[in-house]
Structures are given as structure tokens and as C-alpha cells.
Amino acid sequence: MKKKIIKRAYWRKLDDQAKVFTLASNKKYSSIYRLSVLLKENIDKELLQKATELAISKYRAYKVKLKSGLFWYYFEENELLPVVSEEVDYPFKKINDKANNEYLFKVTYFHKKINLEVFHALTDGNGAILFLNEIVYRYLEMKYPNEIPEHKKEFRRMSEDTEDAYKKSYVKKRVKTKKIKKAYMLQGEELDKGEYGITHNIINLKELKEYARSIECSLSEYLVALIAYSIYETNYRIYNGKRPINISVPINLKKYIKTETISNFFSYMQVSIALKEKKVYTFDDVLILVKKEFEKKLILDKILSTITKDAGSTNNIFVRIVPLVLKKLAFRIGSMQVKRKFTTSFSNVGIVSVEDEYKPHVDGYFVILSPDWAEKIKCGIVSYENDIVVTFSTILKDNLVENKFKELLKERNISVRIEGNDLVDVSN
């Protein structure tokens, strides 16, 4: 007798951080980021479409669309396939539209580059890198079928776990932290709506690491100090800033707490650089302040307290029983207040590793974060092989901060190469 196959549409709850992203997102603040990979040959659209389809059949956790319930949004299985298209516009356009079959990610290509734009509710940078690499692996396997051994194609390790890792990480006793003050907001003429200036600083990783070691600080501390000082010199001093320069530094919790989840699992640390009005600061002064902040705040207990306070707020019974419409309104107002507490974001995805057989075809990676009305410049960082790429995305017309950052590196004899889109001047 033939067994009747019951086709079950799959749905799942959002993780706690995703709940915050879906509730707080609006036209002005979209929480989208872009990961790009640069290959050595021009992209074949048909192969990329097939590769994306194969990758999504493996990463079923991402084969979803966002639906609204009475109290929360939720993910529902998407029975359609994602649509690959050529990049024709600036990044961070609406992601889950009909043309993309309502997926929460978008795959585009341009010449040798494959872009994966992701709505943060779906996953963090870590999960997105795994998915992007799966697309790249599938693409290269079809493009060069004789170069990749069969066993590499079949037994690639992956996780399908979508557990809400936040739930097991909340702490009962929160470490008391200082209330975050409103931050200095970057000033200057803005680009037209929907336009973003993108600058990639491609830096020699070894030289940068050695330099940071020579002045006894970590790579992150050094880069944060460079960004803070660039802001101070080119914007803060000119516009007579009074509030502290606050930099949000996301932290990958998967490094600290064991989990196999491919959903969101990160927190953030706020590096606050309080500057006295009449004093003129040098780079070394700023570096000392940044190092102190890292020492004080990069402590697991404090980070867990932050997630208990932020993402954990969605577990409060009084929050849970409020209908979605009202919740959205409240979270949007709340997020506006939170956003005022940060000058910029510095997100380091870390080192991307690619399997040896695929390496000859991969040239590099980029991470771009979407800037908004509060954080007018954002900074995404990723390392691959010998390079670390620091990408600034901005809605400001001038590129003074980016240029200062580059100058500071050059003054220290660190090799840096600049690339960018049509809205930035990369000539000098």
C-alpha cells in the first residue's frame, strides 16, 4: 500500500534578537548587511542561480519568509526559490519584496563579485558567511567540475540547528553597568536618499597585526582607536562635539558559549570615548581611552548582562501579551532612543576560511553594514588570507573620516589599497 506523504509547511519562532530586529526595523532603519565575495572570473548568472538553489536546499533554516502573527512575527517555509539578479543599484534596497519571492536575503552579482544581502533577523554575520561560502562552493563545483574532488562535494559539514541560543545564556543576576549616555552624532551634508558611499581599505593583515603588537594592543583595539581618532579629527573637532564618541562593537557569542546554531547569537560592547572640551587629543590619548574601555567591558559576565537586558526584554510576560501592532510602535520609539547612543558601529566578522580546493578561485571578501540617520558611517571588517578589508559605508557626502583613516595607516607605513563606488573619491 502506498503511504500517504503529508507535506508539512514548516514554521518556527524567531530568536530573541531577531524579534528585536523585526520590531525595530522601518524605512529609516533596515538592519541589512552585505557580504561579498570576489572571484577571479566573471560570474555566470545561470550557474549562480543553480548554486543558490542548491545551497538553500541544504540551508533550509534560511528558506523562509517573514509572516506576522497576533503577538510576534514568525518564519514560515518559503516554497518558492530565491531569485538571483545583477547588481544595478546601491546596496540595502528593500530585501523581502515580491521580485525576490519574499526571501530575507538577496543574492546579486556584478562582474566578478557575488553579493549576499541579509536581513539581520535571519542570521548574524557568522551564519551568513557559511551560507555565502556554500553558494560559492556550489558555484565553483559546477564551473570547474574536474578540479574539485567528489568527497569534498558530498561531505561538507554544516549545522541545521536553529536553537535560540540566547534563551540558555540569560543570567539571573545582572552585573550593574553604567547607563549609556547619548552619543555624538556625525555632522555634515548627506547624500540623496538611497545612496551610500562605499570605501574598501584593503590592508596587509600581517603588517597591521605586527604594528598593533608593537604598541601592545589587539587588532580590534587598534582599529577602533583609528576610527575614533579619524572621527575626532575630521568631524568632532570641526563641529565642536560635546557628547562622547560611542562605538558599538558586536561580539560573536558563538566563540564564548558552545552552540551549533546558525541563527543570531551575538551581543555588543559599547566603547565610549568621553573627550574633554578644551583638551586637544592625540592618537595615543585616544588609544589609551579605547584600551581602558576594552579592559573594562570585554568581560563575559557584562556581555551576558547586556543580552539579558536587551534581547531578554522580549521574554517579559507583559511584553509578550501586547499585540504585535502596539509592540512594533513601542519598539520603534525605543530603538530611536537606543540608536542615539551610538556614533558608529565597528563589526569584525573575523577570518573567513575557504577550503583549499576552492581557494585558487577566490580573491577576497567584503562586509558592508547599512548606515542610517543616527550612525551615518558604519564600518565592516573581514579578513581573508593576507588581507584585512575595512569597509566604510556612509550617507555623508564628504569622505573625510575615511581619508583620515587611510592617512593614519600610511603614516605608520602599513600598506593599504583603496577601492570604492562612484560616490567616493579613491584617487588620493
Choose between 280 and 321: whose C-beta lies nearer to another protein: 321
Q: Contact region for another protein (CB under 8 A) — 1-9, 271-279, 336-344, 346-354?
A: 1-9
Helix (H) / strand (E) element for 119: namely: strand 113-119
Q: According to CB under 8 A, which one of 1, 5, 70, 99 is a site residue for another protein?
A: 70
CB of 232 to another protein, least distance (A): 47
Residues 179-208 that bind another protein (CB under 8 A): none
Helix (H) / strand (E) element for 269: namely: strand 266-273
- C-alpha 135/C-alpha 112 separation (Å) is 14
Q: Considering the rule CB under 8 A, would residue 5 count as an interface residue with another protein?
A: no
- C-alpha 139/C-alpha 159 separation (Å) is 20
Q: In Å, how far are 41, 72, 164, 186, 328 from 371, measured between CA atoms?
A: 30, 26, 27, 12, 21
Q: Considering the rule CB under 8 A, would residue 321 count as an interface residue with another protein?
A: yes
Q: Contact region for another protein (CB under 8 A) — 2-10, 80-88, 119-127, 157-165?
A: 2-10
Q: Mask of contacts with another protein, 8-27, x by CB under 8 A? A: xx-x-x--------------
The phi and psi torsions of 41 (rounded to 5 degrees) equal -130, 160
Instruction: Decide if 398 contacts 405 (C-beta within 8 A).
Output: no
Q: Contact region for another protein (CB under 8 A) — 3-11, 116-124, 156-164, 240-248?
A: 3-11
Q: Contact region for another protein (CB under 8 A) — 70-78, 112-120, 160-168, 230-238?
A: 70-78
- C-alpha 235/C-alpha 400 separation (Å) is 8
CB of 215 to another protein, least distance (A): 52
Q: How many CB atoms lie within 10 A of CB 45?
A: 12
Choose between 23 and 198: whose C-beta lies nearer to another protein: 23
- C-alpha 302/C-alpha 120 separation (Å) is 23
Q: Considering the rule CB under 8 A, would residue 326 count as an interface residue with another protein?
A: no
Helix (H, G, I), strand (E, B) or coil at 54: helix
CB of 133 to another protein, least distance (A): 31
Q: Contact region for another protein (CB under 8 A) — 66-74, 137-145, 150-158, 181-189?
A: 66-74
Residues 72-91 that bind another protein (CB under 8 A): 72, 74, 76
The phi and psi torsions of 28 (rounded to 5 degrees) equal -85, -25
Instruction: Decide if 116 contacts 132 (C-beta within 8 A).
Output: yes
Choose between 69 and 360: whose C-beta lies nearer to another protein: 69
Locate 370 and state its grid cell: 547599512
CB of 74 to another protein, least distance (A): 5
Q: Considering the rule CB under 8 A, would residue 60 count as an interface residue with another protein?
A: no
Q: According to CB under 8 A, which one of 41, 57, 69, 213 is a site residue for another protein?
A: 69
Kindly list the strands in the beta sheet with 11-13, ordered across the sheet, starting from the edge strand earlier in the chain: 11-13, 73-77, 64-68
Instruction: Decide if 297 contacts 246 (C-beta within 8 A).
Output: no
Residues 372-391 that bind another protein (CB under 8 A): none
Q: According to CB under 8 A, which one of 1, 6, 99, 325 is a site residue for another protein?
A: 6
Choose between 14 and 423: whose C-beta lies nearer to another protein: 14
Helix (H) / strand (E) element for 297: namely: helix 283-297
Matching residue, cell 601592545: 216
Q: Considering the rule CB under 8 A, would residue 258 count as an interface residue with another protein?
A: no
Hey, what's the torsion of the CAs at 314, 315, 321, 327, to 10 degrees? Answer: 0
Helix (H) / strand (E) element for 296: namely: helix 283-297
Q: Considering the rule CB under 8 A, would residue 67 count as an interface residue with another protein?
A: yes
Count residues contacting another protein (CB under 8 A)? 14
Choose between 55 and 66: whose C-beta lies nearer to another protein: 66
The contact set with another protein (CB under 8 A) reads 6, 8-9, 11, 13, 67, 69-72, 74, 76, 320-321
